[in-house]
Structure 1
């Protein structure tokens, strides 16, 4: 999307949006329901294994979500 090169493909897409805005709007709305592209939610799962004194293995899982927001300049 950040390309400065103009391609005929992009021009035709822009033209079709101008010609028929009503058909474009529902598509855009359904795509915008997930978080915007600038914000990424990453799930980090940390698994630790402990060896207990009686020989059994204790497993500890920690799951956390981290939101990364990129600001494009």
Structure 2
């Protein structure tokens, strides 16, 4: 049995980066939804805060769907 350690490290590194990015994007979406009231009070736009949060959630869903696509196909 021969293990290609470089390929294993590459897969680990990419998985780690994508996981951190996906969790960070989802966190930004949650923060965007949580800060809606303060955005309105400070004179910001409620629509902008909500749209940004939904965009973050949409990108997370797209990344998960792409991962499932890669596994299935």
If the TM-score is normalised by the length of the shorter chain, which range does it land in? 0.3 to 0.5
Computing the radius of gyration from Cα coordinates, the structure with the larger value is 1
Structure showing greater relative contact order (alpha-carbon pairs closer than 8 Å, 6 or more residues apart): 2
**TM-score normalised by L of structure 1:** 0.33
More helix per residue: 2
More strand per residue: 1
